[in-house]
Structure 1
Amino acid sequence: MLQNIRDNSQGIVAKIIVGLIIVTFALFGVESLVSLTSGSNAPATVNGEEISERDVLQGADLQRRQLLAQMGENADPTLLDDNLIRKATLDNLIQQEILLQSATSQDMQIADQALDQMIVNTEDFKVDGVFNPDRYQAVLRNAGLTPMMYKNLLRKESLISYERSGYMLSAFVLDSEAERVMALDRQTRDIAYVTVGLQDYMEGVSLTPADLSEYYDAHQQDFMTDEQVAIEYLLINKADLLKEVTIDDAELQSQFEQLKAVFKSEEQRMVSHIMIEVSDSVDDAAALAKAQDLEKRLAAGEDFAELAKAESDDPGSAPAGGDLGVYQQGMLDGPFEQAVYALKAGEVSEPVRTAFGYHIIRLTGLTVSEAPEFEEVKDQLIAEQMENKVEQIYVEQVGQLTDLAFSSGDLQEPAAELKLNIVEAAPFSRQGGNDDITANPRVIRAAFNEELIRDGLNSDPIELDSGRTMVLRVKEHIRPRQLSEEEVKPQITDILTLQKAGEALQASLASELEKLQQGAERKPINGTEWQMAEAVGRGDRDQPAEVMAAAFKLPKPEQGASYSLIALNDGARAIVAVTAVNEPDLSAVSDDEKKAMRNILSQRAGQFDYQAMTEARKEAAEVERL
């Protein structure tokens, strides 16, 4: 073989290939040869800039974490579609790259010091109002980010935000535009409307078999049954296992001894104080003298609470007679706490100096918690023992069910082994059934699993909640079928009746509308009177929304009224008339109101400008997807 290689390497083809390689190396370097075989694995490029697979994976992971956090503590990761998350992440990264390139093309930059300041000022990274590096690291770790990754993301978002702010802050509107919008917003109209229902027209509808057949033939795709499955399942319910638990009195006593062993007696001290503040206007000596004077007055028999209300400088406790409630150890370290724990119930301290000033402290009450008696906690201990034992049985049975369901071809053996009943559920569609089992998304997903349907396998255990686990088997798969015309005849009859009644009502009111537009007097229609409303504004909620929308689209009447015929959501029809348009008096509008309106309109104009720029950048960008 080596000889063959040597012989062939002397041929003209081999020499040409070697020559091309030498020229490629000389002109472009070794990277050019590597790139011929390796290629790029970037999922997308934007104007030649690659979006790496790593960026997509990190973004998808971050989005997945956010979705699970929003779903709560019982979130089921299997509900998330990784393909959809990846696609959404890639779309977002492409848009971000387009906007980032737009910002950098405007020579926008941000200094590292500014990014550091943003990080330090972020509330999520603070503990007690101060930036905490450990907290910073922990938050990023939970989000799946490193400090460098987060700083890079922050840089990109900040640059994009700068350009957006540039558009928002540079947009403006003229005073005349703001006044015109305010005039339209405050404009009122005098309206009249009459509503006519379908009922009378439905009674006059006559349908032939040909009408039904024609509609059925044209809409057969609308008359299909849903795909359904009928399942049978085994359910382990922790609540049903309670009957298997027996209470062990000796174990109860052991629980009680453990409870006593870890019990700690705690003191609860109820404290009141009178505070004399040391401030710029009251020096230390003056504050101490006042505190000593109050001490003498207390010794002479004056009421502590009344004295605190009158003399204490603590605005939080003074109205309550100096009451601080139950004192928690560590609330005020140092002399204050030492004084509190040196007092007996009812005693009053000498003036105590702290950073706030001088305090006269009174221990108003003292309680000491004692170890509980057995009878006091017996019910609690029984509940704990039952919970622990039922949890153990539950875990064991779920484990057995898992093994038996995997090794069995049906549910008969697991049911017999675990003494469970096989429950049969009524057929249900992908929208779920009528009970909490078949309406559970996890059950629906398993029931419509192609492998379970095709091979008749038992499912993996499905945890419905913290106390229920089940295994199911698809008993029957009911494929969609075309419903016959006879089956859907009542449904088609209702559809066509409403449709033809609506057409008849529309034609009838169109004729009335034409007369009104020609100047006819407004009279009741089909016995229904016209409703009148004067000076209604755009935000009026007393009239039907469809009527209000139509009324403010109609032109200002030159004489008489302007009219419109509209369909309501319930199938009824209404003729709407505008009899007058009332313009507001803007002379009463303050300059502040006008300024606020200009700001709102400017922001909206900036948003529209930025959106238009964004769309233009997207259309102009050369985006290639892998």
Structure 2
Amino acid sequence: MMQTIREHAQGIIAWTIVGLIIISFALFGLESYLSGTSRVDVATVDGVEISERSFIEEYQRQQERLQTMLGANYRPELIDEAAMKRRVLDGMIDRTLLSIVLEDEGFRAAPQQVAAVVRSMEVFRGEDGQFSRERYEQMLGYRGYNPETFEKDVGRDVTAGQLVDGIALSGFVTPAELNRRRELLQQERDVGIVRVPVASYLKDVQVSDQEIKDYFDQNQAQFTTPERVSVRYIELDINEVAGQIEISDDEIAHYYETNIAKFTEGREERRVRHILITIDEQTDAEQAKQQATQLLERVRAGESFSELAKAYSKDPGSAANGGDLDYFTRGVMDKAFEDAAFSLAAGEVSEPVRTHFGYHLLKVEDIRPAKIKALDEVREQVKHDAQLQKAELRFYEQANRMTTLAYENSGSLDVVAQDLGLEIKESELFTRAGGVGVASSADVRGAAFSDDVLTHGLNSDPIELETNHYVVVRLNEHRPAEPQQLDQVQDRIRHELSQTKARELARQAADELVARVREGGDPEALARDNDRLNWQRPGFVGRTPTPEAGLSAPVLRTAFRLPRPQGTQPSVDVQMQPNGDAAVVVVYAVRSPESGSESATTPEAARSVGQSEYAAFVAETRRNADVNIYLSTQDTP
């Protein structure tokens, strides 16, 4: 593939966007990209294999998404890895099932549909903004695709969308169902909350050394240091290659002149007057053009454009102002109007211009040019960009050579490092879940813990850290997971046991409070008699959390799950909070929406039903499929 890149690369911008050219292949993995020296399947679906490598890559992508979403709050040690692995594998199984259904049922996308999708992708457009066949083939070549393979995969995505939409969009609801849905969604409940903070019970608990030891002995699997590795690696970065290239002053000036748009601030603006002769029931196109031509002759004879616009223009927004449209940039007006406006010199008047409104005469009153930065002001940027452009060919040649040498000399990085003049670097120790520096890349971590690198001691394939930045890694040090000693974790155990005991006390207090309320006690009075408890009465609330009510989604779910109160006796139950606090949820009354009030529209309700039907379709398809899972939740990654 790197050879293809070297042969076809035409520009730094092209390489920058190459990663964007493939539309989502979430439904259809490309096995040809997952080649390796070993192949282990984690599952089969009606005979279709899901390889260990594809599973690891998907699992790592999910971890990366989670880390991006949570940011600084990302805590890998709190993630239930077994549950996450199963969710990832379940998703891959469902997508494989869907692809099998598409194939068996003969779903096909019409060539026109595939062509429309391909032609709509911005990365395949040329400088004129239109689809470019040459650019299309060039971009595919960068990734080792040919049009036939790519269009086949696009067709699969199109047909998958048809199947999903065909089921999900076929749902419907009856008027009675819609009314019931409205009543449930808009229902409000009068709620009171007694909060039982776990922190108020911590002072009542004690944890003995024997309890700590017993817990440690019974849960030793929890107390291990995770498996860690460090790697030796070489990296090839186009910026470093570019920094080695000499650029003359003439080359800098040439690059600046041929890429002037990159060094321009703002956009050219033009102030234009126009006279519009509309095409309507009274005036056909030929008559409108004739009137515009006659007005043009009067302007050229010396009459005021502004006065003629006031007298004859049919544009209600500008006629009274002499046709003045004020300043505008490209991309605002009708294209034909805009092209004419930006082709005229200041003071010049156009020939009649046809738009869907009718015929226009345009006069350019003033031009505000875009500000072009002086070369001296942007010299360093120009030099760097010119170096990058000149470095491309050298970079692709080196990347291709790095790939070849790393494979041919798979037991060492020395040969490739010496040949390309690269430094062999070492990372810090890192785990499968995360690391710093080069190990912050999930792809690097995946390669480091792969069989090729970890077990067989081979060099990895080149890994793309970012556009035009590659690394090859090999194992430097491996530290297996090791059990921790009691003295290393006793404080952690003491804290966990204290929290557990305090939660039990908080739950016990909450259960006692519920029992007293069911016996007729007033929850507000009971809460005020106990300084450990906090009372809150937000009143009538809906199903959606709001800042004003101050109730979490789990508390609201509990409130709306409770039965309607009977007479003056409220409904009550306990909802345990994630932090260990207990919440006694009290419902005093239920209020239904007024008749005729609006809620979800029929299409929205139908979509909800359709989505449920699609989920049921997937579940039923899976029940009828021959699915074999070989992955244990304790297996790597």
TM range (shorter): 0.5 to 0.7
Q: Distance in 1 between matches of 2:410 and 2:132?
A: 54
Report the 3-state secondary structure (helix = DSSP H, G, I; strand = E; otherwise coil) of the residue aligned with 1:493. helix
Cα drift, residue 222 of structure 1: 1.7
- Distance in 1 between the 2:160 and 2:234 partners? 53
Q: What's the counterpart of residue 498 of structure 1?
A: 499
- The whole-number CA distance in structure 2 between the counterparts of 1:397 and 1:121 is 36
Does the 8 Å contact 2:269/2:329 carry over to 1? yes
Corresponding residue of 1:520: 521
Deviation of 1:502 after TM superposition, in Å, equals 0.9
Q: Whose radius of gyration is greater, 1 or 2?
A: 1
Aligned to 2:171: 168
TM-score for both structures, normalised by structure 2: 0.62
Pairwise CA distance, 1:324: 9.2
1:181, distance to aligned residue in structure 2 (A): 3.9
User: Among the aligned pairs, what percent are the same residue?
Assistant: 27
Q: Contact (CA 8 Å) 1:187, 1:582: kept in 2 or not?
A: yes
User: What secondary structure is seen at the aligned counterpart in 2 of 1:507?
Assistant: helix
Contact 2:183–2:593 (Cα < 8 Å) also in 1: yes
Q: How does 1:125-144 map to 2 (within 5 A)?
A: 142=147, 144=149
Give 1:409-420 correspondences, 5 Å limit.
none
SS of 2:440's equivalent in the other structure is coil
Q: Answer with 479-488 or 553-562: which moved more.
A: 553-562
Q: 1:77 to 1:465 in 2, by over 3 A?
A: farther
Segments of 5+ residues of structure 2 without an aligned counterpart are: 1-20, 37-50, 59-91, 126-130, 261-267, 630-637
- Distance change >3 Å, CA 70–CA 275, structure 1 → 2: farther
Counterpart Cα distance in 2 of 1:340 and 1:492: 74
Q: 1:597 to 1:237 in 2, by over 3 A?
A: closer
Q: Of 431, 434, 440, which residue of structure 1 is paired with 2:433?
A: 431
SS of corresponding position for 1:488: helix
| Structure 1 unaligned blocks of 5 or more | 1-63, 102-109
**Matched residue, 1:104:** none
Q: Distance in 2 between matches of 1:458 and 1:286?
A: 74
Distance of 2:353 and 2:451 partners within structure 1 = 78
Letter in 2 for 1:91: L
The yes-or-no answer on 1:321 pairing with 2:355 is: no
CA apart distance, 1:510: 2.2
What is residue 544 of structure 1 aligned with on the other side? 551
- Residue 540 of structure 2 is aligned to residue 535 of structure 1: yes
CA contact (8 A) 2:289 2:352 kept: no
1:565 pairs, out of 551, 566, 574, with 574
Moved more, 568-577 or 602-611: 602-611
Q: 1:438 to 1:309 in 2, by over 3 A?
A: farther
In the alignment, the residues of structure 2 paired with residue 417 and residue 97 of structure 1 have an alpha-carbon distance, to the nearest angstrom, of: 48
C-alpha distance in 1, partners of 2:558/2:346?
77
Counterpart of 1:188?
188
Q: How does 1:34-113 map to 2 (within 5 A)?
A: 66-67=23-24, 90-96=96-102, 100=105
Q: Secondary structure at the match of 1:210?
A: helix
Q: Which moved more, 1:447-456 or 1:254-263?
A: 254-263
- CA root-mean-square deviation: 5.7
Residue pair 1:229, 1:428 contacting (<8 A) in 2 also: yes
Matches within 5 A, 1:590-609: 593=598
* Partner AA of 2:193 in structure 1: Y
Task: Provide the rounded CA distance (Å) in 2 between the counterparts of 1:262 and 1:183.
Answer: 62
Distance in 2, Cα, partners of 1:378 & 1:493? 63
CA displacement at 1:429 relative to structure 2: 0.8
Partners of 2:181 and 2:509 lie apart in 1 by: 38
Equivalent pairs counted in the alignment come to: 518
Shift in Å at residue 362 of structure 1?
Answer: 3.8
Q: Which residue of 2 aligns with 1:474?
A: 475
Counterpart selection for 2:589 from 580, 602, 610: 580
Whether the aligned pair in 1 keeps the contact of 2:292 and 2:360 (CA below 8 Å) is no
Tell me, yes or no, if the aligned pair for 1:275 and 1:314 is still in contact at 8 Å. Answer: yes
1:60 maps to which residue? Answer: none
Q: 308-317 or 569-578: which moved more?
A: 308-317
Match of 2:250 in 1: 253
Question: Cα gap change, 1:310/1:526 in structure 2, threshold over 3 Å: closer, same or farther?
Answer: farther
Alignment-derived partner of residue 14 in structure 1? none
Q: Give 1:492 deviation, angstroms.
A: 1.3
The question of 1:218 aligning with 2:218 is answered: yes
CA shift, 1:224, in A, is 2.1
* Gap change, CA 1:142 and 1:271, over 3 Å in 2: farther
**Structure-2 separation of matches of 1:617 and 1:460:** 38
